[in-house]
Amino acid sequence: MKTSIRARLMLAVLLSALPGMTAALDIGGFGSLLGGGSDSGNGIDIGQVVSGIGDIGRTVTGISEEEEIEIGRNAAAVLLGAAKPVDDPALQRYINKVGRWVVSQSERPDLPWRFCVLDTPHLNAFASPGGYVFITRGLLQTMSSESELAGVLAHEAAHVLQKHHVKAITSFSSSGVSGIVKLASQTSGAQDNFMATELVNGLKDMYLRGLDKEDEYEADRMGVVIAARAGYDPYGLASVLQTLDSVNPDDDSVSLMFKTHPTPFARLDELTPVLDQLDDSVSQVEPDKRFNTSVMAQR
Ligand SMILES: [Zn+2]
Protein backbone atom coordinates (compact mmCIF):
# COMPACT_ATOMS: atom_id res chain seq x y z
CA MET A 1 0.00 0.00 0.00
CA LYS A 2 3.04 2.22 -0.23
CA THR A 3 1.78 3.67 -3.48
CA SER A 4 -1.47 4.69 -1.83
CA ILE A 5 0.31 6.64 0.88
CA ARG A 6 2.48 8.40 -1.68
CA ALA A 7 -0.57 9.18 -3.79
CA ARG A 8 -2.47 10.49 -0.78
CA LEU A 9 0.43 12.75 0.11
CA MET A 10 0.60 14.03 -3.45
CA LEU A 11 -3.09 14.75 -3.40
CA ALA A 12 -2.79 16.54 -0.09
CA VAL A 13 -0.01 18.69 -1.52
CA LEU A 14 -2.04 19.40 -4.63
CA LEU A 15 -5.13 20.28 -2.63
CA SER A 16 -3.28 22.54 -0.27
CA ALA A 17 -1.44 24.32 -3.08
CA LEU A 18 -4.38 24.98 -5.35
CA PRO A 19 -6.99 26.88 -3.33
CA GLY A 20 -4.61 29.79 -2.87
CA MET A 21 -3.87 29.81 -6.55
CA THR A 22 -7.45 29.62 -7.65
CA ALA A 23 -8.66 32.26 -5.21
CA ALA A 24 -6.28 34.67 -6.88
CA LEU A 25 -7.69 34.05 -10.33
CA ASP A 26 -9.31 36.91 -12.13
CA ILE A 27 -11.72 34.75 -14.04
CA GLY A 28 -13.96 37.56 -15.18
CA GLY A 29 -11.10 39.52 -16.69
CA PHE A 30 -9.74 36.38 -18.29
CA GLY A 31 -13.08 35.75 -19.92
CA SER A 32 -13.51 39.18 -21.40
CA LEU A 33 -9.99 38.94 -22.76
CA LEU A 34 -11.05 35.86 -24.69
CA GLY A 35 -14.29 37.34 -25.91
CA GLY A 36 -16.50 35.01 -23.87
CA GLY A 37 -19.30 36.27 -21.66
CA SER A 38 -18.94 36.57 -17.93
CA ASP A 39 -21.86 34.37 -16.95
CA SER A 40 -23.31 32.36 -19.75
CA GLY A 41 -20.52 32.55 -22.29
CA ASN A 42 -21.59 33.02 -25.84
CA GLY A 43 -24.93 31.58 -24.86
CA ILE A 44 -24.48 28.43 -26.91
CA ASP A 45 -26.96 25.80 -25.79
CA ILE A 46 -25.30 22.38 -25.73
CA GLY A 47 -28.64 20.65 -26.14
CA GLN A 48 -29.36 22.63 -29.29
CA VAL A 49 -26.02 21.98 -30.91
CA VAL A 50 -25.45 18.44 -29.71
CA SER A 51 -28.38 16.12 -30.09
CA GLY A 52 -28.72 13.11 -27.88
CA ILE A 53 -27.52 14.72 -24.67
CA GLY A 54 -30.00 14.54 -21.85
CA ASP A 55 -30.06 16.61 -18.71
CA ILE A 56 -26.48 17.53 -17.94
CA GLY A 57 -25.19 15.54 -15.00
CA ARG A 58 -28.47 13.75 -14.41
CA THR A 59 -27.65 10.64 -16.38
CA VAL A 60 -26.27 8.89 -13.29
CA THR A 61 -28.48 8.84 -10.25
CA GLY A 62 -28.25 7.58 -6.69
CA ILE A 63 -25.20 9.60 -5.74
CA SER A 64 -24.90 12.98 -4.07
CA GLU A 65 -22.43 15.62 -5.19
CA GLU A 66 -20.45 15.12 -1.96
CA GLU A 67 -20.20 11.40 -2.67
CA GLU A 68 -19.19 12.09 -6.25
CA ILE A 69 -16.39 14.38 -5.04
CA GLU A 70 -15.24 11.79 -2.47
CA ILE A 71 -14.96 9.09 -5.15
CA GLY A 72 -13.11 11.63 -7.28
CA ARG A 73 -10.56 12.27 -4.51
CA ASN A 74 -9.76 8.57 -4.45
CA ALA A 75 -9.55 8.39 -8.23
CA ALA A 76 -7.29 11.46 -8.38
CA ALA A 77 -5.02 9.85 -5.77
CA VAL A 78 -4.74 6.75 -7.97
CA LEU A 79 -3.65 8.92 -10.93
CA LEU A 80 -1.19 10.84 -8.76
CA GLY A 81 0.20 7.49 -7.65
CA ALA A 82 1.12 6.83 -11.27
CA ALA A 83 2.60 10.23 -12.15
CA LYS A 84 3.49 13.26 -10.09
CA PRO A 85 2.55 16.85 -10.98
CA VAL A 86 5.07 18.87 -13.00
CA ASP A 87 7.10 20.90 -10.51
CA ASP A 88 6.34 24.28 -12.06
CA PRO A 89 3.89 26.41 -10.05
CA ALA A 90 3.56 28.99 -12.84
CA LEU A 91 2.55 26.29 -15.33
CA GLN A 92 0.07 24.74 -12.87
CA ARG A 93 -1.42 28.20 -12.21
CA TYR A 94 -1.76 28.78 -15.93
CA ILE A 95 -3.53 25.44 -16.49
CA ASN A 96 -5.90 26.23 -13.63
CA LYS A 97 -6.61 29.66 -15.06
CA VAL A 98 -7.54 28.29 -18.49
CA GLY A 99 -9.37 25.30 -17.01
CA ARG A 100 -11.40 27.28 -14.52
CA TRP A 101 -12.44 29.80 -17.15
CA VAL A 102 -13.54 26.95 -19.43
CA VAL A 103 -15.62 25.20 -16.75
CA SER A 104 -17.13 28.50 -15.62
CA GLN A 105 -18.95 28.24 -18.95
CA SER A 106 -20.22 24.74 -18.14
CA GLU A 107 -23.39 23.56 -16.47
CA ARG A 108 -21.57 22.76 -13.22
CA PRO A 109 -19.33 25.77 -12.58
CA ASP A 110 -19.48 25.35 -8.80
CA LEU A 111 -17.77 21.97 -8.49
CA PRO A 112 -14.36 22.18 -6.78
CA TRP A 113 -12.54 22.09 -10.14
CA ARG A 114 -8.78 21.49 -10.07
CA PHE A 115 -6.44 21.13 -13.04
CA CYS A 116 -3.01 19.58 -13.01
CA VAL A 117 -0.19 18.83 -15.46
CA LEU A 118 1.24 15.37 -14.82
CA ASP A 119 4.96 14.85 -15.29
CA THR A 120 4.99 12.12 -17.93
CA PRO A 121 5.98 12.10 -21.61
CA HIS A 122 2.93 9.99 -22.49
CA LEU A 123 0.20 11.70 -24.48
CA ASN A 124 -3.01 11.60 -22.46
CA ALA A 125 -5.53 13.43 -20.31
CA PHE A 126 -7.73 12.16 -17.50
CA ALA A 127 -10.55 13.30 -15.29
CA SER A 128 -11.87 12.14 -11.94
CA PRO A 129 -15.41 12.65 -10.63
CA GLY A 130 -16.19 15.88 -8.88
CA GLY A 131 -13.91 18.12 -10.93
CA TYR A 132 -10.35 16.79 -11.10
CA VAL A 133 -8.76 17.20 -14.54
CA PHE A 134 -5.26 16.03 -15.49
CA ILE A 135 -3.27 16.55 -18.67
CA THR A 136 0.15 15.06 -19.31
CA ARG A 137 3.24 17.12 -20.04
CA GLY A 138 3.67 15.01 -23.20
CA LEU A 139 0.28 15.98 -24.62
CA LEU A 140 0.65 19.62 -23.60
CA GLN A 141 3.96 19.84 -25.44
CA THR A 142 2.42 18.70 -28.73
CA MET A 143 0.09 21.71 -28.63
CA SER A 144 0.63 25.04 -30.31
CA SER A 145 -2.34 27.10 -29.11
CA GLU A 146 -4.46 27.74 -26.05
CA SER A 147 -7.56 26.69 -28.01
CA GLU A 148 -6.06 23.20 -28.28
CA LEU A 149 -5.50 23.15 -24.52
CA ALA A 150 -9.00 24.49 -23.83
CA GLY A 151 -10.47 21.82 -26.12
CA VAL A 152 -8.79 18.99 -24.21
CA LEU A 153 -9.68 20.43 -20.80
CA ALA A 154 -13.29 20.91 -21.94
CA HIS A 155 -13.41 17.30 -23.17
CA GLU A 156 -12.27 16.07 -19.76
CA ALA A 157 -14.65 18.47 -18.00
CA ALA A 158 -17.50 17.01 -20.04
CA HIS A 159 -16.71 13.55 -18.60
CA VAL A 160 -17.09 15.10 -15.15
CA LEU A 161 -20.29 16.97 -16.05
CA GLN A 162 -21.88 13.80 -17.39
CA LYS A 163 -20.50 11.59 -14.56
CA HIS A 164 -19.08 9.16 -17.10
CA HIS A 165 -16.49 7.84 -14.63
CA VAL A 166 -19.05 7.31 -11.89
CA LYS A 167 -21.01 5.22 -14.36
CA ALA A 168 -17.88 3.22 -15.27
CA ILE A 169 -16.74 2.83 -11.65
CA THR A 170 -20.05 1.50 -10.45
CA SER A 171 -19.98 -1.18 -13.12
CA PHE A 172 -17.11 -2.93 -11.32
CA SER A 173 -18.86 -3.05 -7.98
CA SER A 174 -21.41 -5.76 -7.42
CA SER A 175 -23.12 -3.47 -4.92
CA GLY A 176 -23.42 -0.63 -7.43
CA VAL A 177 -23.29 3.06 -6.55
CA SER A 178 -24.02 2.52 -2.87
CA GLY A 179 -21.12 0.03 -2.54
CA ILE A 180 -18.65 2.43 -4.13
CA VAL A 181 -19.86 5.35 -2.05
CA LYS A 182 -19.42 3.24 1.08
CA LEU A 183 -15.86 2.25 0.09
CA ALA A 184 -14.94 5.82 -0.75
CA SER A 185 -16.32 7.21 2.50
CA GLN A 186 -14.50 4.53 4.54
CA THR A 187 -11.22 5.85 3.18
CA SER A 188 -11.88 9.46 4.08
CA GLY A 189 -11.68 9.03 7.86
CA ALA A 190 -8.83 10.92 9.48
CA GLN A 191 -7.41 7.76 11.03
CA ASP A 192 -7.48 5.75 7.85
CA ASN A 193 -4.71 6.56 5.42
CA PHE A 194 -5.34 3.54 3.31
CA MET A 195 -7.71 3.30 0.46
CA ALA A 196 -9.75 0.15 0.27
CA THR A 197 -7.93 -2.27 -2.01
CA GLU A 198 -11.07 -3.07 -3.92
CA LEU A 199 -11.69 0.58 -4.68
CA VAL A 200 -8.09 1.27 -5.72
CA ASN A 201 -7.97 -1.78 -7.99
CA GLY A 202 -11.31 -0.90 -9.49
CA LEU A 203 -10.23 2.68 -10.20
CA LYS A 204 -6.93 1.55 -11.72
CA ASP A 205 -8.79 -0.90 -13.87
CA MET A 206 -11.16 1.83 -15.02
CA TYR A 207 -8.31 4.10 -16.15
CA LEU A 208 -6.59 1.20 -17.91
CA ARG A 209 -9.75 0.04 -19.65
CA GLY A 210 -11.10 3.48 -20.45
CA LEU A 211 -14.63 4.73 -20.69
CA ASP A 212 -17.48 3.73 -22.92
CA LYS A 213 -16.77 4.67 -26.55
CA GLU A 214 -20.02 6.61 -26.83
CA ASP A 215 -19.06 8.60 -23.72
CA GLU A 216 -15.82 9.63 -25.47
CA TYR A 217 -17.75 10.88 -28.48
CA GLU A 218 -20.17 12.71 -26.20
CA ALA A 219 -17.28 14.38 -24.35
CA ASP A 220 -15.82 15.49 -27.70
CA ARG A 221 -19.14 16.99 -28.80
CA MET A 222 -19.75 18.73 -25.48
CA GLY A 223 -16.12 19.79 -25.20
CA VAL A 224 -16.11 21.80 -28.42
CA VAL A 225 -19.34 23.54 -27.41
CA ILE A 226 -18.00 24.48 -23.96
CA ALA A 227 -14.72 25.70 -25.49
CA ALA A 228 -16.67 27.81 -27.98
CA ARG A 229 -18.79 29.29 -25.20
CA ALA A 230 -15.59 30.29 -23.44
CA GLY A 231 -14.52 32.16 -26.56
CA TYR A 232 -12.06 29.59 -27.90
CA ASP A 233 -11.83 28.23 -31.40
CA PRO A 234 -13.73 24.91 -31.15
CA TYR A 235 -11.38 23.50 -33.79
CA GLY A 236 -8.73 23.39 -31.05
CA LEU A 237 -9.83 19.89 -30.01
CA ALA A 238 -9.96 18.81 -33.65
CA SER A 239 -6.42 20.06 -34.08
CA VAL A 240 -5.26 17.91 -31.13
CA LEU A 241 -7.02 14.90 -32.63
CA GLN A 242 -5.21 15.55 -35.92
CA THR A 243 -1.91 15.59 -34.06
CA LEU A 244 -2.77 12.29 -32.37
CA ASP A 245 -3.80 10.86 -35.72
CA SER A 246 -0.31 11.57 -37.04
CA VAL A 247 1.42 9.66 -34.22
CA ASN A 248 2.43 6.07 -34.92
CA PRO A 249 -0.14 3.97 -32.98
CA ASP A 250 2.68 1.60 -32.00
CA ASP A 251 4.53 4.42 -30.26
CA ASP A 252 4.73 3.80 -26.51
CA SER A 253 3.72 7.42 -25.81
CA VAL A 254 0.20 6.84 -27.13
CA SER A 255 -0.36 3.18 -26.21
CA LEU A 256 -2.73 3.85 -23.30
CA MET A 257 -4.51 6.70 -25.07
CA PHE A 258 -5.13 4.56 -28.17
CA LYS A 259 -6.17 1.58 -26.08
CA THR A 260 -8.74 3.57 -24.12
CA HIS A 261 -10.19 5.81 -26.85
CA PRO A 262 -11.73 5.42 -30.28
CA THR A 263 -9.20 6.26 -33.03
CA PRO A 264 -8.54 9.98 -33.54
CA PHE A 265 -9.84 9.56 -37.09
CA ALA A 266 -13.17 8.16 -35.86
CA ARG A 267 -13.44 10.93 -33.27
CA LEU A 268 -12.83 13.61 -35.90
CA ASP A 269 -15.45 12.00 -38.08
CA GLU A 270 -18.02 12.09 -35.25
CA LEU A 271 -17.12 15.65 -34.36
CA THR A 272 -17.37 17.20 -37.81
CA PRO A 273 -21.16 17.78 -37.85
CA VAL A 274 -20.97 19.59 -34.49
CA LEU A 275 -18.09 21.77 -35.66
CA ASP A 276 -20.08 22.62 -38.79
CA GLN A 277 -22.97 23.80 -36.62
CA LEU A 278 -20.67 25.87 -34.44
CA ASP A 279 -19.02 27.68 -37.33
CA ASP A 280 -21.32 30.67 -37.13
CA SER A 281 -21.04 31.23 -33.40
CA VAL A 282 -17.30 31.28 -33.01
CA SER A 283 -15.00 34.12 -32.16
CA GLN A 284 -11.52 33.39 -33.43
CA VAL A 285 -9.39 34.78 -30.66
CA GLU A 286 -6.07 33.02 -30.25
CA PRO A 287 -4.29 34.06 -27.06
CA ASP A 288 -1.10 32.52 -28.38
CA LYS A 289 1.25 34.84 -26.60
CA ARG A 290 0.18 33.69 -23.16
CA PHE A 291 0.19 30.04 -24.27
CA ASN A 292 3.67 30.43 -25.72
CA THR A 293 4.98 32.03 -22.54
CA SER A 294 3.52 29.33 -20.29
CA VAL A 295 3.99 26.17 -22.33
CA MET A 296 6.67 26.75 -24.94
CA ALA A 297 9.07 27.70 -22.16
CA GLN A 298 8.76 24.08 -20.98
CA ARG A 299 10.31 22.68 -24.16
ZN1 LIG B 1 -12.21 11.21 -22.80
CA of 246 to the centre of ligand 1 (A): 19
CA of 268 to the centre of ligand 1 (A): 13
> In terms of DSSP H, where are the helices of the chain?
2-23, 27-34, 46-49, 65-82, 89-104, 137-140, 146-161, 164-170, 176-186, 197-209, 213-229, 235-245, 255-260, 264-278, 288-295
Q: What is the pLDDT of residues 199-229, one digit of tens each?
A: 788 888 889 989 999 999 999 999 999 999 9
CA of 192 to the centre of ligand 1 (A): 31
Answer yes or no: is pLDDT of 186 > 70.
Answer: no
CA of 219 to the centre of ligand 1 (A): 6
Q: For 226-251, give the DSSP string.
A: HHHHTT--THHHHHHHHHHHTS-TTS
CA of 216 to the centre of ligand 1 (A): 5
> Which residues does residue 135 pair with via DSSP β-bridges, in sequence order?
117, 125
CA of 238 to the centre of ligand 1 (A): 13
Q: How many residues does the chain have?
A: 299
CA of 75 to the centre of ligand 1 (A): 15
CA of 23 to the centre of ligand 1 (A): 28
130-157 mean pLDDT: 97
Q: Residue 238 — pLDDT band, cuts 50, 70, 90?
A: very high
Q: Residue 108 — pLDDT band, cuts 50, 70, 90?
A: very high
CA of 133 to the centre of ligand 1 (A): 11
CA of 227 to the centre of ligand 1 (A): 15
Averaged confidence pLDDT in the chain: 80
Q: Which residues lie closer than 8 Å to 92 by C-beta, 6 or more apart?
A: 17, 18, 21, 85, 86, 115, 116, 117
78-85 mean pLDDT: 92
- Rounded-to-integer distance, Cα 117 and Cα 80, Å: 10
- Rounded-to-integer distance, Cα 281 and Cα 284, Å: 10
CA of 152 to the centre of ligand 1 (A): 9
CA of 231 to the centre of ligand 1 (A): 21
CA of 136 to the centre of ligand 1 (A): 13
CA of 190 to the centre of ligand 1 (A): 32
Answer yes or no: is pLDDT of 41 > 50.
Answer: no
> Which residues does residue 127 pair with via DSSP β-bridges, in sequence order?
133
Domains of the chain by residue range: 2-298
Estimate to the nearest angstrom the gap between the alpha carbon of 8 and the chain centroid. 20
Answer yes or no: is pLDDT of 36 > 70.
Answer: no
Q: Model-level pTM?
A: 0.79
CA of 155 to the centre of ligand 1 (A): 6
Residue 30 · residue 198 · CB < 8 Å: no
Answer yes or no: is pLDDT of 274 > 90.
Answer: yes
CA of 191 to the centre of ligand 1 (A): 34
CA of 3 to the centre of ligand 1 (A): 25
Nearest to 274 by CA among 243, 248, 231, 238: 238
